[in-house]
Amino acid sequence: MTPQKTALIAGATGLVGSTLLPLLLASERYAKVITVGRRPLPLVHPKLEQRVMDLDQLEENRLGLIADDVYCCLGTTMRQAGSKEAFYKVDYLYVVKLAAITAGNFAAQFLVVSAMGADAESRIYYNRVKGEMEDAVRQTPFRVIHIFRPSLLLGERREKRLGEQIGFVLMKLLNPLLLGPLRKYRAVPAAAVARAMIRAAAEDGGGVRVHLSDEIAESGR
């Protein structure tokens, strides 16, 4: 099968995105993979086209954001962002703008990494922003929207944080004890999320599909 489709990925340097990008480049589904980010990646590949831009300039770069399948792995933390406003810009504004632009460019699929607990009515700011993002993305006219809600993500981060490292160790120990309805709280490897996203795109389905953490872990084995 000769690949004909184009994938676009935003957030290719993050925990999930950095695992997803090599899978996209290796996939027979795609003839071209476009990355969107503020800095060029130290990577050369015959399928790869890099769109280097400030994400505030997505609209100005609309014509460079044409793809069949859009993978959005954008996300930060309150600590990294430094303020609620900066967090909101990355986790809501950029994601929703990317969805609106690529839908307007007739992309068929939008696959986005959200978070367990996403709820626009939540009292927890992080969960509320994720929920508001999901609600806004649902309004865009893609043929299919895949929303992934992983629990704690496991993987090698560029920034080492002691609290997170301790949390990862504890979650690895607790994972086997989380059975039945508690399975959805198990920590999930970022690589499993990336594999689940690729497999979901290959279904070429329709509508809105929400992938919960335990399903992601199973699909991404």
CATH number of this structure's domain 5-153+189-219, picked from the four choices 3.40.50.720, 3.40.30.10, 3.40.1190.20, 2.40.30.10: 3.40.50.720
Question: pTM of this prediction?
Answer: 0.89
Helix axes 190-202, 17-26, angle to 10 degrees: 40
Nearest CA-CA partner of 99 in 140, 128, 65, 134: 140
pLDDT in tens, 162-176: 445 545 554 454 555
C-alpha 175/C-alpha 217 separation (Å) is 12
**Residues 6 or more apart from 118 whose CB is under 8 A from it?**
127, 130, 131, 133, 134, 147, 149
Nearest CA-CA partner of 143 in 215, 200, 95: 200
pLDDT in tens, 25-76: 999 999 999 999 999 999 999 999 999 999 999 999 999 999 999 999 999 8
**Distance linking the first and last C-alpha atoms of the chain:** 25
C-alpha 200/C-alpha 158 separation (Å) is 27
pLDDT in tens, 119-156: 999 999 999 999 999 999 999 999 999 999 998 888 66
Question: What pLDDT, on a 0 to 100 scale, did the predictor assign at position 19?
Answer: 96
Question: What pLDDT, on a 0 to 100 scale, did the predictor assign at position 150?
Answer: 94
